[in-house]
Amino acid sequence: MLSETNSCRRLLLSIGGPILAVILVILGWGLAVWAFDIPPYVMPSPARTWTAAMDDLPTLLKGLRITFVEFLLGFVLGAGAGFCFAVIMDASAWVRRVLYPILIASQAVPIIAISAALTIWLGFGLAPKLVIVALTVFFPVVVNVLDGLASVDHDMLNLVKSMGGTRASIFRHVKLPATYTPLFSALKLSATFSVTGAVIGEWTASTSGGLGAYLLQANSRLNTAATFAAIGFLAILGVMAFLLVVLTEYVLTPWRSSSKARRWSPSYWRVTAAAAPTTSPRRI
């Protein structure tokens, strides 16, 4: 009973804390607009922003869905490609020496600088936006996964090899778990950046709409309230992206969130008891 009460208390604190912070930010925003008498075309009040959001709610929700699809597909593509490149570079020192400087040099080029070229090469559809989002995720995943693979204890690797472990089993049971922590750290860092990449892609190839296209149109019409409404929806999308990564981490690495032993079914205990040795160990 006490443990359930503590769990409920922690849940309320984890949910209530961010909600309270958002409320305080909105109150501070409204107070600043009222105290300094800021014109609406410079910074609208929360009430004006809410009214603009409700007036264009169907359009904003449609843009949210489009941008979320672009983010999700590009994020999965970039994370998968980055993970595969890191594994290949870890397996071959020659490949790592050749590709690593190229990856570093590619990060010196701003994404917005190559977005126009991607539009020329790939058209105005979904493809250039996916590539931009994937490029945003790719490099952090490669670097962090490489660090995780390099941090594996060599004595552990030698021990598993001496016990007859194959390269596949060594990777699955020793190297792969070592990449979880740096991989999800990179994914959390890239989650919000990927939303920015999707917006940049929509600015250069905005035939299918999205929050980026809506933001650009509202800004061109000097509709500050609609601009702030779009920014608010982008913030919601960024939080959704981060929470999606956190949920995936919780599902794939349950041992990091709880140190309690798993509750097994009675059949598990019967099988374990039957497989256990019946003879007691000898006393030395």
Tell me the per-residue pLDDT of 202-221, one tens digit each, with 9 for 90 and over. 888 766 778 888 988 888 88
The radius of gyration of the chain from alpha carbons, rounded to an integer in Å, stands at: 25
Nearest Cα to Cα of residue 26 among 11, 54, 48, 42: 48
Confidence tier at 270 by pLDDT (50, 70, 90): very low
126, 67 in Cβ contact below 8 A?
no
Q: What is the mean pLDDT of residues 61-77?
A: 92
Q: What percentage of residues in the chain have a pLDDT greater than 70?
A: 84
**Residue 211 in contact with residue 199, Cβ under 8 Å?**
yes
* Confidence grade of residue 258 (pLDDT, cut at 50, 70, 90): low
Distance (Å, whole) CA 105 – CA 101: 6
Return the pLDDT at 95. Answer: 87
Q: Tell me: the pLDDT tens digits for 224-249? A: 999 999 999 999 999 999 989 989 88
Tell me what pLDDT residue 19 has.
81
Taking each helix axis as running N to C, give the angle between helix 46-55 and helix 224-252, from 0 to 180 degrees, rounded to the nearest 10.
80
Domains of the chain: 16-43 (no CATH), 56-254 (1.10.3720.10)
The token pair that represents 30 in the structure block: 């409204």
Q: Which alpha helices (DSSP H) does 205-223 contain, by range?
A: 211-220
Q: Higher confidence at residue 275 or residue 46?
A: 46
> Average pLDDT, stretch 7-19?
68
Q: Assess whether pLDDT exceeds 90 at residue 80.
A: yes
DSSP annotation of 174: I
Average pLDDT, the chain: 82
